[in-house]
Structure 1
Amino acid sequence: MLKIKNINVSYGGIKALQDVSLEVPEGKVVTLIGANGAGKSTLLKSIAGIVTPDSGSIEFLGNNIAGNKVYKTVGEGIALVPEGRKVFTDLTVAENLKIGSFLRNDKKEIEKDMEWIYSLFPRLKERSWQYAGTLSGGEQQMLAVGRALMSRPKLMMMDEPSLGLAPLVVQDIFSIIKEVNKSGVTILLIEQNANMALKTADLAYVLETGKIVLSGSGKDLLENESVKEAYLGKKKNK
């Protein structure tokens, strides 16, 4: 579905991504783990059209989308749930969701999708006329996911969805990721909680200082000794 080949991105002469190549197969959950500053968010921004790569290609369903404007990327079927949620705090829950469908004009289908979002997130339905800024962190994350789903994406990218959330809420968020994936949406996930991410992912990549250094199934990386030591807080047996 998504094929990234040798993309390079630099900021003011500093290389953020160096010859990064990866694939996201249709229908799968793919995760990208790595330390802060490894280039994970830069990769998602490059796919979304927020950042233009210096070189390389980003193919989505056979089309090279590298350098596309953000709205074109959304139109192609890619949605981003940004780090920090970025909900519109002065708008209601319902208004935030409707913004997610800004490229659509099928009113009846939009209403159906709103109901589907509310069935996924009953708390959002209870708070549909509440201002988004008054929601808890977990509820705002649910709203950010719901808003992304309103564009009917084929691929949903998520940047640190569990950041700053209580452990019980994190469990809820990962349950939702699985549920959304079951509905037919492919997921590309960046997550600091490597343990949860690898348990959820079909396929995983490790990014270090702008380079892919390891890849495999989520299960394989969960059992990899160097991954355990670097990202799961487990020391190698001597």
Structure 2
Amino acid sequence: MLKIKDLHVYYGGIHALKGLNINVPHNKIVTLVGANGAGKSTTLRSVMGLVKSTSGTVIYNDKDITNKKTKDIVLQGVVMVPEGRRIFPNLTVEENLTLGAYTRRSKDSINKDMKWVYELFPILKDRLWQKAGTMSGGEQQMLAVGRSLMTKPKLLMMDEPSLGLAPLIVKDIFDIIKEIHKEGVTILLIEQNAKAALEIADYGYVLETGTIVLEGNGIDLLNNDKVQKAYLGE
């Protein structure tokens, strides 16, 4: 579904991505783990056209989307849940979710997906008229994921969905990711919480300073000695 080939990205004089190669098959969960500054967020931002690559290609469903306009990439079904949630704090929960569906026209389809979001996140249904900025961090993360689902993504990319959340909320978020995947959504997950990410991933990549240093099935990476020492504290 998504193929990143020999991607190079520079930030000023910093070579952020150094010939990145990643494959995200249809209807799989793929995770990209690594420390701060490894280039994980840059990877997603490059796919979305928010950061321009110097060379290399991004192929989505056999179409070259390298450095295309973000709005055109979204219209093809590629959606990102950004790090830090980036909800609209002065708008209500319902208004945030409605904005997620801005590219869509069918009211029946939108209402159906709104119902699905409320089934995934019952707390959001209870807070319809609450200003998003007054919600807890975990609730805001749920809203950010819900808003992205209202776009009806085929490929959902998530940037550090567990960042700053309490352990119990982290478990809820990862359970929701599995539920979204069951509905046929392909997922590319960026995470510092390597254990949680690799436990649910079909395939994983380990990124260090812009370079893939390890890759393999999620469970194999979870049991890899190097990964355990570097990212799992074992």
Structure 1 unpaired stretches of 5+ = none
The 5-angstrom pairing of residues 87-126 of structure 1 reads 87-126=87-126
Which residue of structure 1 aligns with residue 164 of structure 2?
Answer: 164
1:4 aligns with 2:4: yes
In structure 2, what is the equivalent of residue 200 of structure 1? 200
Shift of 1:167: 0.3
1:108 Cα deviation (Å)? 1.6
What RMSD in Å do the two structures reach over aligned CA positions? Answer: 0.6
SS at match of 1:227: helix
TM-score, scaled to structure 2 = 0.99
Paired with 2:127 and 2:183, the residues of 1 have a C-alpha distance of 24
Compute the displacement of 1:35 (Å): 0.6
Secondary structure, counterpart of 2:205 in structure 1: strand
How far residue 183 of structure 1 moved from its aligned partner, in angstroms, is 0.5
Matched AA of 1:152: K
Q: Give me the whole-angstrom Cα distance separating, in 2, the residues matched to 1:11 and 1:164.
A: 26
Q: Using the alignment, how far apart are the partners of 1:73 and 1:173 within structure 2?
A: 25
Paired letter, 1:182:
K
Q: Give, in angstroms, the shift of residue 13 of structure 1.
A: 1.9
The 2-side partners of 1:25 and 1:179 are apart by 18
- Residue-by-residue CA offset, 1:92-125 (whole Å, 9 max, x unaligned): 0010001111111111211111111111110000
1:41: how far off? 0.2
- Name the amino acid aligned to 2:215: S
> C-alpha distance in 1, partners of 2:87/2:134?
11
Q: Deviations over 1:110-151 (max 9, x none)?
A: 111111111111000000111100111111011000100111
2: CA distance between counterparts of 1:49 and 1:104?
Answer: 21
The whole-number CA distance in structure 2 between the counterparts of 1:68 and 1:97 is 25
- Alpha-carbon distance in 1 for matches of 2:165, 2:115: 25
Residues 119-198 of structure 1: pairs in structure 2 closer than 5 A: 119-198=119-198
The code of the aligned residue for 2:201 comes to A
CA–CA distance in 2 between the matches of 1:148 and 1:49? 17
1:131 maps to amino acid: K
Unaligned runs of 5+ in 2: none
Q: Distance in 2 between matches of 1:68 and 1:101?
A: 21
Q: Quick check: 1:63 aligned with 2:63? A: yes
Report deviation, 1:14: 1.1
3-state SS in 2 of match to 1:181:
helix
Which residue identity lines up with residue 69 of structure 1 in the other structure? K
Q: Which moved further from structure 2: 211-220 or 100-109? A: 100-109
* C-alpha displacement of 1:52: 1.1
CA shift digits 1:160-199 (9 cap, x unpaired):
0000000000000000000000000001001111110110
One-letter code of the match for 1:166? A
The residue aligned with 1:77 is 77
TM-score using structure 1 length: 0.97
Quote the residue 1:31 is aligned against: 31
The secondary structure found in structure 2 opposite 1:110 is: helix
Provide the secondary structure at the position in 2 that maps to 1:187.
strand
Query: How many matched pairs?
Result: 234
1:211 aligned partner: 211
Percent identity between matched residues is 61
